[in-house]
Amino acid sequence: MKLNEIRDNEGARKNRIRVGRGIGSGKGKTGGRGQKGQKSRSGVAIKGFEGGQMPLHMRLPKRGFNNPFGKDFAEVNLGMVQKFIDAKKLDAKKDIDHAALKAAGLARGGKDGVRLLGKGELKTKVKFVVAGASKGAVAAVEKAGGSVEILDKGKPEHEKKAERAAANKAAKAK
């Protein structure tokens, strides 16, 4: 083998077909586009168009609702908290807040804080500092001798609006 004899394998490099270069080429005249119609012209991309029939994405029913004011809480059950305390991943003597739960790997996400839920059983006396808690969770924590402090992240907009309206009404009455 010599350097001047090195060649690609047969069929490794294929020339591209030059479309529209005469009838004898096999891809002349219409250039492989059939004839007439919108798709034979250049610059056409008809995604989802079904020839005037109602497209599939419009025939299917709309589902669901995306609440723009919805809160994103990391939901944590009391049973899991107890499990992590038993495994020494959480310290029951300190306040348990979002940072502590996140460090232990119990609270994922939750950009609006942690919401405590009452599934499972809590046997340890613990003080929670969370953004929200269910009634059952608060009752279970207090039964175990602990406490739940709920952070006030500000009232919802509709409550603020109602308070302003009541204040305005009282001011007008005077």
Give the CATH number of the domain where residue 116 resides.
3.100.10.10
Within a domain: 68: no
- The tens place of each residue's pLDDT in the chain, 174 residues long, gives 899 999 999 999 999 999 999 999 999 999 999 989 888 888 887 888 888 899 999 999 999 999 998 888 999 999 999 999 999 888 888 889 999 999 998 888 888 889 999 998 888 899 999 998 999 999 999 999 999 988 876 677 788 888 889 999 999 887
Q: Write down the pLDDT at residue 45.
A: 77
Which DSSP state fits 147?
A: E
pLDDT at 51: 82
- Within a domain: residue 132? yes
- Residue 131 forms part of a structural domain: yes
pTM exceeds 0.85 for this model: no
Displacement of CA 163 from its chain's centroid (Å): 33
Q: Is residue 33, in this structure, part of any structural domain at all?
A: no
For residue 128, being part of any structural domain is answered with yes
What is the structure's pLDDT at 8?
Answer: 93
Which residue stretches of 21-156 are H helix? 56-59, 78-86, 98-104, 135-143
Return d(Cα 146, Cα 98) in angstroms, integer: 17
Confidence at residue 153, expressed as pLDDT on a 0 to 100 scale = 65
Range of the domain at 112: 74-150
- Residue 14 inside a domain? The answer is no
- Which of 88, 81, 67 is closest to 130 using CA atoms? 81
Q: Give the chain's domain count.
A: 1
Report if residue 34 sits inside a domain. Answer: no
In a domain, 51, yes or no: no
